[in-house]
Structure 1
């Protein structure tokens, strides 16, 4: 990292505020996406000092690159400096489709084979999990936790077992934590999604959002993100990374 960039991060990155003893945490997580809203998300998180967990895949972006290319290096370094947590989302955003002889049929939505189903054996799936971690460490100098989120949340017992065998723990989300930014704006406008989350999210829930969804017309973030943070805090909830989760914390702290 250049000295000037390091100084800028030191001056601008506010450490995320941890929950205090006795407070009721929720765990906000972001999967990568087209990244157009990523700077806006970062601004909201920093202003409200909210720590989150990011799950990284090398997805296509609206600027014609990918979410883990050099264009985004400074952005990821800044998030690491702020104290957020990080996990894998597979390199090519490989969506599990079925268990097959010899491994798993997946459909990547990114990379050279996007949209073309392929079969990965256990070793290849583990490599797909490890590659974002290697890239993240190269970008930030920090190790990634050994946690992952399967794209779309689609898994099988065999896939989860294969991931566990190479040291990875899967992280899903709570039913009320599905914040709906993948849903069509026409039938699920932002105000509906906001009110639903404010009503239904409970202490201990893992919340799911993205750094941009191609199919959504009206961006969820920051339109919903900021009032959601304010509203949940008003209900007496606080935000923590998965490093502080009672069940997943050990895995989220491992590197």
Structure 2
């Protein structure tokens, strides 16, 4: 698997070789330049594609051997989370909520309710800021710690699962994740519910993506998600799929 560590070693050795050829064999500087551009593009790809596990190992799907799927919801809690919880409760579906720490502090009762109803609460950073990806290692450590503390205060448990905001990872974030011994969880179906406002189109996209082991990414602050969720659950079950939570799908511990 191509990772940041082995690609950096390969880049460094190749660059050293090209540099010596430039110095001693009058090779063109174009080649080291092209190599560096290519390496920068690789870094960008690895940062943006959470499923690549480029900087940190990330679990993005379950086994394809069973007709099981998992629902995950990001960016809550919000008042709309209550509507999502009501639908899940009505159909006996457990899900994972990757929560923003600031919002956990704002709506701890909603987080407590979700946990009491059998849902997993995960860490989704404290601020989910626009410039989150540019944070230092210390800032990432603080983000993870503050969110864990907020969730601990709300439900009495510290999460072991983390989902990076925007699905972007960096070396600094990877170090912070490993230091806190968190399991990084991605997805393999991004429903685009923050962009698709028509619930019929959103439902069609989600249904068409049904496959064994799928982890669906939704957001529990999106109205179109709340409007189509019940229909999606019914259709998935009609096609023989079982909804399970991430700890069962991935065989991981949800809490420390």
Q: Taking structure 1 as the reference length, what is the TM-score of the superposition?
A: 0.68
Contact 1:90 1:151 in 2 (8 A): yes
Q: How does 1:112-191 map to 2 (within 5 A)?
A: 120-141=135-156, 143-174=157-188, 177-185=189-197, 189-191=198-200
Structure ranking higher in strand proportion: 1
Offset from partner CA, 1:86-130 (integer Å, 9 cap, x none): 1111100145665xxxxxx1xxxxxxxxxxxxxx33233122112
Report the alpha carbon displacement of residue 234 of structure 1 after superposing the two structures with TM: 0.8
Query: Which 5+ residue runs of structure 2 have no aligned equivalent?
Result: 1-64
Q: For 2:155 and 2:236, how far apart are their aligned partners in 1?
A: 31
Structure ranking higher in helix proportion: 2
- Following TM superposition, where does structure 1 have runs of at least 4 consecutive aligned residues deviating by more than 6 angstroms? none
Number of aligned positions between the proteins? 192
RMSD of aligned residue pairs (Cα, Å): 2.1
Larger Rg: 2
Offset from partner CA, 1:20-53 (integer Å, 9 cap, x none): xx96211100112472421110100100010001
Report the alpha carbon displacement of residue 253 of structure 1 after superposing the two structures with TM: 3.1
Q: Taking structure 2 as the reference length, what is the TM-score of the superposition?
A: 0.68
Query: Which 5+ residue runs of structure 1 have no aligned equivalent?
Result: 1-21, 60-66, 99-104, 106-119, 214-218
SS in 2 for 1:54: strand
After superposition, the Cα gap between the structure-2 partners of 1:238 and 1:180, relative to the gap in structure 1 and judged at 3 Å, is same
SS in 1 for 2:192: coil
Aligned to 1:82: 117
Q: For 1:74 and 1:95, how far apart are their aligned partners in 2?
A: 27
After superposition, the Cα gap between the structure-2 partners of 1:234 and 1:144, relative to the gap in structure 1 and judged at 3 Å, is farther
